[in-house]
Amino acid sequence: MNQPYSQACENNKQPILAILSQAFESSQVVLEIGSGTGQHAVFFASQLPHLQWYTSDQPHYHEGINCWIDLHPATNLHRPLSLTIGEEPLPEIQADGIFTANTAHIMQSAEVQSMMEQVASTLPDTGVFCQYGPFIQDGRFNSESNEAFHHKLISQGYGGYRDIEELQQWAPSLQLKTIHQMPANNLLLEWQKDSGF
């Protein structure tokens, strides 16, 4: 197959890495939900060698992810695990960190709710969840282009942007530590499992 490629992944990998290098500083095992092309995985694994990085996605993405892993193998980078949110539970790998990029606005509302609930129940106390993408904040879009893209996604059958407040309601045991402003009107939500739950 032709190796999959996302220009967006190339554009945002450095800004995301700057956040992950701090957020996952004390983590050991990270599960990536929705590894897509595999570009993020090979880059982050190479730059964060203290982590064991596990890729996951729906089976039809695995060949492409494996293409990237074949080109950039690393001892801390793992072959994709099967994961279809809403149909399968998160893989049982005892992750203390979870990362996902550009997934919530593609999924349907019930699938995002399932993902948030599973992340909250899977992470150990003080575990970290880093969630990158476009979101609605305080009931508002942060740009006209984001609002237009949200409506386009819905017209194409996708779930569209999720409001951060909605995410918090679905996963009350996750504390939203920081909302990082990112390029291209995106955000990186840094959550931490609250040991009080």
Assigned CATH topology for domain 7-193: Rossmann fold (3.40.50)
Q: Per the confidence metrics, is the pTM higher than 0.85? A: yes
Residue ranges of the domains in the chain?
7-193
> Is pLDDT of 54 > 70?
yes
pLDDT digits (tens, 9 = 90+) for 99-136: 999 999 999 999 999 999 999 999 999 999 999 999 99
Q: CB atoms < 10 A from the CB of 6, how many?
A: 16
Categorize the per-residue pLDDT at 158 as very low, low, confident or very high, splitting at 50, 70 and 90: very high
Return the H-helix or E-strand segment holding 133. strand 128-133
Task: Tell me the HSE value of 27 on the side-chain side, using a 13 A CA sphere.
Answer: 31
What pLDDT score was predicted for residue 70? Answer: 97
